[in-house]
Amino acid sequence: MKMLKIVSTMAFLAASAAAFAQNAMVNGEVKKIDEAASKITLKHGPIKSLDMDEDGMTMVFRVQDPSMLKQVKVGDKVQFEAERASAGITITKIQKAK
């Protein structure tokens, strides 16, 4: 009986983590790419993970890994994750929207 409770608790935690990860993704559109500076300009919606609940805005972000900029082009609809870093808000993951 104890084992069943542990397994169901682990399943709940895994589902919660997956839901959180999905919520952390932000929808956006690529407006500009500056490979030399490792920056990208995105028009985006609220970034709840950073307590940015505004309706949306256009911002310049640093990218954690400059190779991410080669995955997208201006005009692409994307989903991304961002976090606060010492250098400013930084994109940690980006992918074309499905």
Give residue 66's pLDDT: 96
Contacts of 63 by beta carbon, 8 Å cutoff, 6+ apart: 38, 39, 40, 69, 90, 91, 94
Question: 53-84 pLDDT, tens per residue?
Answer: 778 899 999 999 999 999 999 999 999 999 99
When pLDDT is averaged across residues 30-51 and rounded to a whole number, the result is 94
Task: With beta carbons less than 8 A apart as the criterion, state whether 67 and 61 touch.
Answer: no
For 26-96, CATH gives 2.40.50.320
Q: Look up the pTM and report it.
A: 0.74
Closest CA to 61 of 34, 36, 79, 21: 34
Task: In whole angstroms, give the CA distance from residue 72 to residue 78.
Answer: 8
